[in-house]
Every structure is written in C-alpha cells, then in structure tokens.
Amino acid sequence: MTDRRPEFQGEQFEKGLQIRREVLGDAYVDRSIAAADDVSAPLQKLLTEWCWGEIWSRPGLERRMRSVLNLGMLMALNRSDEFKLHVRGALNNGVTREEIVEIILQGAIYCGAPASLDALRSAKAVFAEIDAATTQVSQR
Amino acid sequence: MTDRRPEFQGEQFEKGLQIRREVLGDAYVDRSIAAADDVSAPLQKLLTEWCWGEIWSRPGLERRMRSVLNLGMLMALNRSDEFKLHVRGALNNGVTREEIVEIILQGAIYCGAPASLDALRSAKAVFAEIDAATTQVSQR
Amino acid sequence: MTDRRPEFQGEQFEKGLQIRREVLGDAYVDRSIAAADDVSAPLQKLLTEWCWGEIWSRPGLERRMRSVLNLGMLMALNRSDEFKLHVRGALNNGVTREEIVEIILQGAIYCGAPASLDALRSAKAVFAEIDAATTQVSQR
Amino acid sequence: MTDRRPEFQGEQFEKGLQIRREVLGDAYVDRSIAAADDVSAPLQKLLTEWCWGEIWSRPGLERRMRSVLNLGMLMALNRSDEFKLHVRGALNNGVTREEIVEIILQGAIYCGAPASLDALRSAKAVFAEIDAATTQVSQR
Amino acid sequence: MTDRRPEFQGEQFEKGLQIRREVLGDAYVDRSIAAADDVSAPLQKLLTEWCWGEIWSRPGLERRMRSVLNLGMLMALNRSDEFKLHVRGALNNGVTREEIVEIILQGAIYCGAPASLDALRSAKAVFAEIDAATTQVSQR
Amino acid sequence: MTDRRPEFQGEQFEKGLQIRREVLGDAYVDRSIAAADDVSAPLQKLLTEWCWGEIWSRPGLERRMRSVLNLGMLMALNRSDEFKLHVRGALNNGVTREEIVEIILQGAIYCGAPASLDALRSAKAVFAEIDAATTQVSQR
C-alpha cells in the first residue's frame, strides 16, 4: 500500500475501501485503484469515503437490504454499468439469483417494461461472466 | 361487495385486493375502490391484478424487501405521491422509520441530493399524518 | 393586436400562434400572451415559433397523431402541467376521452404504474374542469 | 409448440404471442422464445400476457396510434433497444419512415435535442438493417 | 450555537455551513437548522459536510459557474424545490436575472420545452418573492 | 458549398453553422454535414438553426458558461454521446480539463454517483482521443 496515491489514504478512505472490497470483491477494487489517474482519483476518493466509508458502513440497514435498494434505484435511473456492478455486490451480500429476478419483475411494474428488460439483460450478462469464471477455475 | 363494479371481480382481482389491503391498509383501499369511475376503473383493475395479484403475491422475495425496493425505485423516479403511499406500505411491512431514513440517505448517493431531500420531505409528511391520526385516536 | 409586445410579431410567430390557438384554445393562448413579461416573453416567442410555427405546422403527421405522441412523451417525462395542457389539446384534435384512457393504460406498461397513475389523476382533473365549465355554460 | 416451456402456455399467452408476432415479426419473436431460460422466462411470460395479450389487444386505440405512442415514450425514457424494436413494430403497423422522422423531430421540442438525436441514430440503424436484409433477399 | 444538535458540530460541518450561508442566505439556513429533527438531521449533516463543506468549497470552479451548473442539472432532473433554492443561490453568486433567463432558454433545447417552462415558472416565483420582500423592507 | 443540400442554406443556417464550427470544430461539423441524408437532414437543419443559430448566438451568456451548463444538463439527462461532444466543445470554449473534473464531482452530489461515474468515463475517453490525435500530429 506504500505506493498508493496520496489522496487514497486516511482512516475514512481505508474504512470505505474495506467495505467496498467486501461488497464488490478484491479483483474489481484492485483494478479500480490501480487504474486511478489525476482525472479519476478525486471522484474515486470521494465516493470511497462517502458512499462506502459513510453510507454502506452505517449499521441501520443490513447489507442485503442495501443491495436490494441499489438494484431498484439503478434500474430506475437507467445506469446499466453500475447496475451490473451491484448485481455482483448483491450476490456477495447474500441476495440470490432468484431474488434478483424477482426484483427485476417488480421493476417491470414500477419502472416499466423497458427498464426491466434492460435490467434483465444486464443481470444475465453478469451471471454468465460469473459462470464462465467459475468454469475456468474448476477446469484448471 | 355485491355493489362493486363488474370489472372489480374475479379470483385474480380478489387476490390482489387482499394483498393491497394488507400492505396499504383498508382505509386507503376502500377509498380507492369507492372513488373508481369509468375513467379510473380500467387502470385500477389492471394494477390490482398485475401489481398486487401477481407481483406482490409472488413468494420469491419477502414483503419487507419489496417495500425497500419500491422506496428506492420511487425516489429515483421522482414520483412523490406513490412514494408517500409506499412509506405507509413499508411501515406496515415491518420496515422501521429509522430504516426508511437510512434508505433515503443511501438515495442521496445514488439518486442525488435533490431526490433524497424530496423523499425526506415526503417521509416526514407521512410520519406526521400517522402521528396525528394516532393522537386523535388516543384522545378519544 | 396593436398592443402586442414587439417580439410577438412576425410571420413565423403569427403562424405558430394560429396553430397554438387551434390546438390549445383561444382562452388559454390569450391568457398566456397577456401574462407575458420580460422574463417569460423570450421563451414564449421561441416556443410559439419553433414548436407551433414549425413542428406542429408540418404536414407530415396528422394532428391527432401529434397529440397522442405528446401525451406519451409528457407522461414519460413526468411533466404534469404540460400533460394537462395537452389533454385539452388532444380532445381538441379529436382524440376521445376513451382513447386518452387507453394511452394512459399503455403508459402503465412502458413508463410504469406511478407514471400512469399520475397521468390518470391529471386527465381526470382536466375532464372535471371541462365538465364544470360546460355545466356552467348550459345553466346560463 | 409441444416443446415450449410450461409457463409459455395458456390462452392469454397465446393471444399475446399472436399480437406480438403481428407487430414485431415472427423472426424476432421466435428468437426471443427460443432464447428464454430460467432467468428470462418469468419476465417474458408476464410481458407477453400483460403488454401484448392485454394492452396491445384492447380495441380502444388503433395499432398505428399505439406505435406512435410507444416511440414517444421510449424516446423520452432513453431506452434505445426498445425504441429500435418499436421502430420495426411501427413500420409493420403502417407508420411510414417519413412519419417516424416527424415523430423524432417533435421529440426534439418536447424531450430535447439529445433525445431526438439518439432516436434518429436508432431509427437510421433499423432502416439500414431492413434495407440490407431486403437487398440480400432480392439478390438471391 | 451552544444549543445546536450534537451531530451539527465539527470543523467540516462549520466549513460547509459557512459556505451554505454565503450562497443560500442566513434566513434560509437558520430556518433549516432550527427545523432539523431526528428524521432530517442525518441528511442535513451529510449534505452540509459533503455538498457545501467539500464540493462547494473546492477552489477549482468559481461559484458563479457552480450556480450555472446547478441550475442546468436541477432543470434536467425535474426537481423544482431545489431549482428555486438555487435560483436564489445563483443571484447571490452574481448570476443576473437575465442570465438565468438565458440558462432556461438553453434548457429548452437540451432538456425540452416542458422542462424549460417549469423552470421559468419557478424562476418567476422566486423573482416575485424577492421583489415582494424588497418592497416590504423599503416601505417600512 | 455549392453542393450543399438545399435545406442547408439560408442566413439562419449559416449563422448557426459558423458557431457550431467554432464550438465543436470543423472536422466534426464537416463530417456531420457530409453524412446528412433524407432521414437526418431535417433534424440537422432545425438544430443548426435553433440550437446554434439562435440559442448559442445569443449574447446574454458567455460561451464558457453555456458549456458548463450543457455538461450539467447532459450528465443529468444520461446522454453520453452528446456529453462527449460537449466535453470537446467545453475545451474549445476555454473550460479546462480540471474544471470539467470539478463539474463531474459536483454532479456526484446533485445527479448521483452513477451519473458522475458515467460522465467521468466519457470525459476520460475524450481526453484520450484528443491526446492520441495530438501525439500523431506531433510525431509526423
């Protein structure tokens, strides 16, 4: 960690990074930290501290709930990259694939069919990536 | 029930109406059914059957989760009337006021501060209505 | 018309104003023109010329179609004041109340239930205003 | 049809599938049905029954109108995959390419220029696909 | 300040509160702080620290620019309460009424006419409130 | 220019084209004009005249401000193609890369983290394209 960028330091950043790792996985977070440059570092820093260090670390709502909430907001907001990321996060937090399908079905009623169909495509893509990675590992 | 509109009949409608009552309360649902006219009845019918009879009745996601999901989607979609309705629904489904505040705080990160502030105003209005009704009842 | 604001002049403005009157009614347009001040006049001018003088005057799509299109866009965009205005416009362009209800039902599928419910409330409010005005007139 | 998934059965599903075929074409619908798996089947089933079996089958609004409405909603909702699909549907329902361009021009006023430009790109892509397929067929 | 809520303390909060006062005015901020209760305090705290203490305090973009940016985002996001607040903020930061009208005209092109018309209504309401308050003061 | 399409003529179009060139660059505008066909020409014409000939040519707001405003609106509206285009425009109008990063950071607060992250990806892509083009030129 000695070679980490100077703004990627401090108690609040470490706290956020730890939770971010637990939810999104080490591989993703390591790539994200390594890829940071002068353009992306300020946003990375703030979101790690605020989103992960503050909001996701609050004890008032269990992580599984936070994942369900996020999938709903991201489906409604039409942000498929973040939605995909939080499909992984939801699985890591104990939301099952079947529950993710239920979330998307409920989205059809409240966000409309196109939002639901886009979310389903994203979820299927993530499930396929995970299955492909699992197969590779098990075939070694 | 003998005087209910003809389209407000059938197994799927009854199933939906029952769950809608459990989540949103008898008072709201009775008013809504009584107020239906030729303009609003077709949408009432379809949403009772689809949203409540089909989606909310599916066993794959517990109701507390469905409420959390709804609050997230409705905050993101900027629909304050429906949001308020589902604040009541969430409380009926066992989501606490403290958890609703957590949901709104998480909304600040993902939907932005204005969405979060609007949601907070809505939640406070519902909490105040409930408190006023409770006070009236207890003072009788 | 001699006392109209200087920017509310010219061929393109007159052309737009005429179509706007045909679609939204003289009463609304007269009020809107009379209420214009230095803050609102520039936008009034541009929208009368562009929206009404150019787009609504194009022969390539019949007005009834343009009204249906507008109701769909405005329901999706969550802009209830404009939606209400174009419920009146749609009726003037020959879209029936029954067709407006069908439009809103279709909106439930594509825009989601909350958008559809908000649109229904708006349509009902406009229908009631029109009925009240008609009753007043017929009772004179 | 004997090998179709069990949930893809029943009167309401058949009714929806028929209309969906008429609007979106056999090729698309066949691919969609064949590609369904445990993740996507529940949403496919509900949308076929609700959207196509119920809404699109209602006689109160002609299909050409429903297509115009859909293009407006999907342009506003920023859902380009569904927009493209319904450009095809609109053409099948008798909306001309020239009318689709008019719809997109009107979208510039109400949804804003970026929505209109994205819709135009999508429409051009669909027109080009159709022209390429027609050329292939005619060259055989 | 000795009677301020415990969470409304600390260096970052004070820094944010100071900038918030400079932009939105003492009257608004005092009311907002005084009205805070257990439901609204957590969000108030976070937004004062993040939005005002961190983002608005960054030297990399002059405040006038930040106000212009905010009016654009809030017009697009359809959040009229926040938009009105930042019309006041923009005026305090040196954006003129004429520039605010220009911002709204540009919004007509990019966000669409309905967003622009809603923003104009909001701006006119704020201008009128300010004029009314000024008249009252000058008549004392 | 003698071979330009007939609708791409006239004083207002020339005025708009000139400003569009100054903001978005000759290369982009030349490509765009050359690529116009019967499907895209009507929208090109209207946007060149309205957006560039009218709005961007108004003296009431300096171009740097208009660029900042546009980046805010486009980030909020979730339109990444137009956002990228106006990152270039902003740089041409004197907004620095550092200021664009500040704009995106402020977007995290008001539009939410996913909007901000998408905007950052888009800005980085444009910066990289510009750097690659500069390197190619300097290596000749």
Q: What is the pLDDT of residues D51-61, one digit of tens each?
A: 999 999 999 99
Position C137 scores a pLDDT of 77
The span from the CA of A113 to the CA of D81, in Å, is: 12
Nearest to A82 among F117, F124, F127 (CB): F117
* Residue D15 CB neighbours (<10 A): 17
The pLDDT value recorded for residue B136 is 80
Is the domain of D84 the same as that of D133?
yes
3-state secondary structure of C130: helix
Chains contacting F (3+ CB pairs below 8 angstroms): A, B, C, D, E
Nearest of D51, D135, D128 to residue D97 by alpha carbon: D128
Range of the domain at A133: 63-138
Angle C8-C10-C15 (CA atoms, 0-180°, nearest 5)? 90
- Written as six digits, the tokens of F8 are 């791409």
CA distance D115 to chain E (A): 8
Q: In angstroms, rounded to a whole number, what is the distance separating the alpha carbons of residues A64 and D6?
A: 32
Residue A37: strand, helix, or coil: coil
Query: Of D10, D34, D19, D38, which is closest to residue D93 (Cα–Cα)?
Result: D19
Q: Provide the shortest C-alpha distance from residue A55 to chain B (in Å).
A: 6
CA distances from A116 to A113, D26, D33, D90, F50 (A): 5, 23, 17, 22, 36
Cα(C8)–Cα(E71) distance, integer angstroms: 27
Q: Is position A1 within any domain?
A: no
Query: How many C-beta atoms lie closer than 10 Å to residue D137's C-beta?
Result: 8
Question: Is the separation of the CB atoms in D107 and F71 below 8 Å?
Answer: no
- Residue B1, domain member (yes or no): no
Computed over every residue of chain F, the mean pLDDT equals 95
CA D5 to chain centre: 23
CATH of the domain at E81: 1.20.1290.10
**Same domain? C115 vs C74:** yes
Whether residues B70 and B116 fall in one domain: yes
CB A87 within 8 A of CB A126: yes
Q: For residues B77 and B69, what is the distance between their CA atoms, to the nearest angstrom?
A: 12
Confidence (pLDDT) at C138: 80
Give dist(CA B125, CA D108) in Å, integer: 37
Centroid of chain to Cα B137: 22
* pLDDT bucket at B135, cuts 50 / 70 / 90: confident
The predicted structure's pLDDT at residue E4: 84
Q: Are residues A84 and A116 in the same domain?
A: yes
Residue F2 clears pLDDT 80, i.e. is over it? no
pLDDT, residue C3, reads 72
Helices then strands, each counted (H, E), chain D: 7, 0
Residue B100 covered by a domain: yes
- Residue B60's pLDDT band (boundaries 50, 70, 90)? very high
- What distance in Å separates the CA atoms of residue C114 and residue C107, rounded to the nearest whole number? 10
Residues of chain E neighbouring A54 (CB-CB closer than 8 A): 46
Complex ipTM > 0.90: yes
- The C-alpha atoms of residue C51 and residue C56 are separated, in whole angstroms, by 6
The model's confidence at residue E104, banded by pLDDT at 50, 70 and 90, is very high
CA atoms of D58 and D41, how far apart (whole Å): 24
Mark yes or no for CB contact B114/E82 under 8 Å: yes
DSSP, residue by residue, C1-52: -TTS-TTS-SHHHHHHHHHHHHHH-HHHHHHHHHH--TTTHHHHHHHIIIII
**Residue length of chain A:** 140
Among chain C residues, CA nearest to E116: C43
Answer yes or no: is B91 within a domain.
yes
- Please give the pLDDT value at position C136: 80
- What is the nearest CA distance from B135 to chain C, expressed in angstroms? 31
pLDDT at B117 over 80: yes
Give the pLDDT score at D135.
85
Q: Which residue of C has its CA nearest to D69?
A: C69
Tens-level pLDDT at each residue, chain A (140 residues): 457 899 999 999 999 999 999 999 999 999 999 999 999 999 999 999 999 999 999 999 999 999 999 999 999 999 999 999 999 999 999 999 999 999 999 999 999 999 999 999 999 999 999 999 988 877 77
- B3: confidence class by pLDDT, cuts 50, 70, 90: confident
- F5's tokens: 């399409």
DSSP per-residue string spanning D31-66: HHHHH--TTTHHHHHHHIIIIIIIITT-TTS-HHHH
The amino acid at D102: E
Helix (H, G, I), strand (E, B) or coil at A25: coil
Residue C1 lies in a domain: no
Whether F133 is covered by a domain: the verdict is yes
CA F56 to chain centre: 11
pLDDT band for D14, please (50, 70, 90 cuts).
very high
Whole-number Cα distances in Å, A136 to A87, A125, A127, A140, D120: 21, 17, 14, 7, 42
Structure confidence at residue A3 (pLDDT): 72
A51 with A22, same domain: the answer is yes
E67 and E51 in one domain? no
Structure tokens belonging to residue C128: 């009631």
Amino acid letter at A97? R
CB C37 within 8 A of CB E123: no
Task: Report residue E10 as tokens.
Answer: 């600390």
In a domain, B128, yes or no: yes
Summarised one tens digit per residue, pLDDT across range F4-48 is: 899 999 999 999 999 999 999 999 999 999 999 999 999 999 999
**Distance between CA atoms of residues A65 and A6, nearest Å:** 34
Give the total number of structural domains in chain E. 2
pTM comes to 0.96
**Triad F94, F98, F100: Cα angle to 5°:** 70
Same domain, A49 and A81: no
* Contact residues of B toward A, CB < 8 A: 47, 50-51, 55, 58, 60-61, 65-66, 68-77, 82, 98-99, 101-103, 105-111
In chain C the first and final C-alpha atoms are separated, in Å, by: 30
| Contact yes or no for B42/C105 (Cβ under 8 A) | yes
Share of chain B above pLDDT 90, in %: 91
On average, the pLDDT of chain C sits at: 95
**pLDDT given for residue F139 in this prediction:** 77
Q: Are E81 and B78 in contact (CB under 8 A)?
A: no
Helix %, strand %, coil % for chain A, to 5? Answer: 75, 0, 25
Q: What would the pLDDT profile of F53-82 be if each residue is shown by its tens digit?
A: 999 999 999 999 999 999 999 999 999 999
Check residue B138 and give its pLDDT: 80
- Distance from the Cα of F96 to chain D's closest Cα (Å) equals 23
**pLDDT value at position B4?**
84
Query: What integer is the mean pLDDT of F118-136?
Result: 95
Judge whether residue D1 has pLDDT over 90.
no
Radius of gyration of chain D (CA): 16
Instruction: Provide the pLDDT for residue B122.
Output: 98
Distance from CA of E91 to the nearest CA of F (A): 14
Q: Phi then psi for B43, rounded to 5 degrees?
A: -70, -45
Tell me if E118 sits within 8 A of E108, measured CB to CB: no
**Least confident piece of the model among B52-66, B95-109, D104-118, F126-140:** F126-140
Best CA proximity match to F115, nearest among E82, B106, B110, E83: B110
- Quick one: closest CA in B to F109, which residue? B112
Using the 8-state DSSP alphabet, how is residue B56 labeled?
T
Query: Chain E residues contacting D, CB < 8 Å?
Result: 109-115
- As a whole number of angstroms, the distance between CA F129 and CA F134 comes to 9
E20 and E73 in a single domain? The answer is no
Residues A47 and A101 in one domain: no
With CA atoms as reference, report the closest residue to D119 among D95, D89, D88, D84.
D84
Residue C139: which pLDDT band, with cuts at 50, 70 and 90? confident
pLDDT, position A139? 77
D18 lies in a domain? yes
Nearest to E114 among C40, C42, C79 (CB): C79
Q: What is the per-residue pLDDT across C28-64, written as a single tens digit (0 to 9) for each?
A: 999 999 999 999 999 999 999 999 999 999 999 999 9
| Euclidean distance between CA atoms E88 and E48, whole angstroms | 17
Quick one: pLDDT at residue A4?
84
Question: Which chains sit next to B, with 3 or more Cβ pairs under 8 A?
Answer: A, C, D, E, F
E135, E96 Cβ separation under 8 angstroms = no
3 state SS of D47:
helix
Residues of A in contact with F75 (CB under 8 A): none
Give the model's pLDDT for residue B89: 98
Distance between CA A107 and CA C140 in Å, rounded?
51
Positive/negative CA dihedral, D77, D83, D87, D90: negative
Structure tokens given for C46: 């541009």
Can you tell me the distance from the alpha carbon of E34 to that of C130, in angstroms, rounded to the nearest whole number? 45
Compare all CA atoms of chain D with the CA of B42 and give the residue at the minimum distance.
Answer: D55
Structure tokens at F20: 């569009």
Whether residue B58 is predicted with pLDDT greater than 90 in this model: the reply is yes
Question: Are residue B31 and residue B79 in the same domain, yes or no?
Answer: no
Per-residue model confidence (pLDDT) at position A42: 96
Confidence of residue F3 (pLDDT cuts 50, 70, 90): confident
pLDDT reported for residue D11: 95
Where residue E8 falls among pLDDT bands split at 50, 70, 90? very high
pLDDT band (50, 70, 90) for residue C135 = confident
Contacts of E78 in chain B (CB under 8 A): 78
For residue A20, what are its two tokens? 């971010």
Angle at A74 between CA A71 and CA A76, to 5 degrees: 105
pLDDT at C125: 98
> Mean pLDDT across the stretch C75-98?
98
Residue E140 has pLDDT above 80, yes or no: no
Q: What is chain E's length?
A: 140
Query: Last residue of some domain: A55, A76, A96?
Result: A55
Q: Are residues B127 and B96 located together in one domain of the fold?
A: yes
Mean pLDDT confidence for B18-44: 95
Put simply, the answer to whether B120 touches E77 (Cβ < 8 Å) is no
CB contact under 8 A, A79 and F118: yes
Q: Is the pLDDT of residue D2 over 60?
A: no
pLDDT mean across residues, chain D? 95
Residues of D with a Cβ under 8 Å from any B Cβ are 46, 50, 54
pLDDT score recorded for residue C4: 84
Q: Token pair of A80, please?
A: 């498929």
* Residue-wise burial string across D99-134, b where 16 or more C-beta atoms lie within 10 A, e elsewhere: bbbbbbbbbbbbbbbbbbbbbbebbbebbeeeeeee
Is F42 in the same domain as F98?
no
CB atoms D103 and C58 under 8 Å? no
| Residues sharing a CB contact under 8 Å with residue B59, sequence separation 6 or more, in sequence order | none
Interface mutation vs chain A, best among B52, B73, B79, B105, most A CBs within 10 Å: B73
Chain F interface with D: residues with Cβ < 8 Å: 39-40, 42-43, 46-47, 51, 74, 77-79, 81-82
d(CA D131, CA F39): 14
